[in-house]
Structure 1
Amino acid sequence: MDTTQNKKILTRGFGAKTGHVAFYIEHPPAILSYKNISKIIPLEGGEIDYINNQCGNGWRKIFNVFAKFLFAAQLPDHNITNFPSWQSYRDSALLQASSQEALLFSPPDFSIKSYNWHIIAGRTYAKSLLKDQIFTNSLIWLDDEFAVDTELNLIVSPFLDYRQLSNIKINRLTKIIKGN
């Protein structure tokens, strides 16, 4: 099955080039040095704070919710178990070279098997990708917020925001990934 419709996708974002999980969001931070990145780059220590200071509360929420999800999921072989809290993981390892996750600003490319799980953050973004036929329309919608394609290990979840991907929904996302 050709899920990319013969389109070459330029994968770009923050974090590891391979790993356990990649979240996909539509836009990078509104900082000139990130607007035109053309590959996956690991963040350096303190770079999350820099982005938060430059871009405000929206990006703080994205990083916090991402770290909270990873901490709740406790994915096998993920180095998150070495940290006492999601905050310490966020500040010391999230999206850095040694991490096993990515935050990507490009559509998923299923022709390469880089991540165990692909999570598109936000129903609106996912539906725009479906409309553009970036991947096949084989998603099973579990409800208005979550969809799964087990063949592609693809999940659509609420956006990385406290209200949209609340702690209860983080737990639901964790159960989906673990097959519960």
Structure 2
Amino acid sequence: MKTLPIVAAGFGDAAAAFRVYIARRPPMAEYAGLSEVKPLLTDEINLINSACGNGWRKVFNVYSKLLFELDTKQFAYSRQAGSWQQYRDQHLLQVGSDTALLFSIPGLNPETSDIHIIAGRSHARMLLDSGLKAQLNWLNQEFAIDKFNRLLVCPYFDYRQLNNEKLAYLAQLIKDLDE
């Protein structure tokens, strides 16, 4: 199924099929008025990390680690670099990466094969209150799924909240979307 262009604000590939949604953008002047999907340039992740601190470093690291946890039969991310760190620095959220980090409400279309991940239970509830049309089935206190819309909710992209064990669980949920 064809991915539709993203009509939202965020970072990454405007045609990405792998989309993560977080509540806040980096507190930097150059992103304050962002109203489209902006591909990141090489080293731009490092600039954001330097300006915004450890919280953003964790978001980018966890995103990249998740991509490397995915089934290689479904996703080619881990074949593009030797490590999740190299993938983060050379491909994540860049043109052609098929990844996006969005600061807006998910544009769900069950006719596509897009994967939508909302980082954080509170953010998911806020999006639902803002009009997100999804039927979330809560699997436990931290994870929810709407298989019809290929939408998942997981803990926020932080090492303590989304540790390696939970990353593996999320990767399995993503794999199960196609079964």
Query: TM-score normalized by structure 2?
Result: 0.89
Match of 1:15 among 3, 12, 22: 12
Question: In structure 2, what is the equivalent of residue 167 of structure 1?
Answer: 164
Once the 2 structures are TM-superposed, how far is the Cα of residue 26 of structure 1 from its aligned partner?
Answer: 1.1
Tell me the alpha carbon deviations over residues 60-102 of structure 1, each in whole angstroms, 9 at most, x when there is no partner.
Answer: 0000000000011145243431211100100111101120110
Establish whether residue 88 from structure 1 lines up as the match of residue 86 from structure 2. Answer: yes
Correspondence list, 1:1-180, <5 A:
11-74=8-71, 76-111=74-109, 116-136=114-134, 138-179=135-176
> 104-113 or 83-92, which moves further after superposition?
104-113
Q: Distance in 1 between matches of 2:49 and 2:112?
A: 27
- What CA RMSD, in Å, does the superposition of the two structures yield over aligned residues? 1.9
Q: Which amino acid aligns with 1:101?
A: T
* Paired residue secondary structure (1:50): helix
Q: Which amino acid aligns with 1:123?
A: R
Check the 8 A contact 2:116/2:150 in 1, yes or no: yes
Task: Report percent identity of matched pairs.
Answer: 43
Q: Distance in 2 between matches of 1:16 and 1:80?
A: 17
> 65-74 or 42-51, which moves further after superposition?
65-74
Once the 2 structures are TM-superposed, how far is the Cα of residue 112 of structure 1 from its aligned partner?
Answer: 8.7
Q: Which amino acid aligns with 2:15?
A: T
Check the 8 A contact 1:11/1:104 in 2, yes or no: yes
Check the 8 A contact 2:67/2:77 in 1, yes or no: no
Check the 8 A contact 2:110/2:149 in 1, yes or no: no
Q: Distance in 2 between matches of 1:104 and 1:115?
A: 17
Q: Which amino acid aligns with 2:13?
A: A
Once the 2 structures are TM-superposed, how far is the Cα of residue 10 of structure 1 from its aligned partner?
Answer: 5.2
Q: Distance in 2 between matches of 1:115 and 1:24?
A: 17
Q: Distance in 2 between matches of 1:160 and 1:78?
A: 21
Consecutive aligned runs of 4 or more in structure 1 exceeding 3 Å deviation: 111-115
Q: Distance in 2 between matches of 1:42 and 1:113?
A: 25
* Paired residue secondary structure (1:148): strand
Check the 8 A contact 1:74/1:81 in 2, yes or no: no
* Paired residue secondary structure (2:93): coil
Once the 2 structures are TM-superposed, how far is the Cα of residue 116 of structure 1 from its aligned partner?
Answer: 1.5
Query: TM-score normalized by structure 1?
Result: 0.89
> 32-41 or 113-122, which moves further after superposition?
113-122
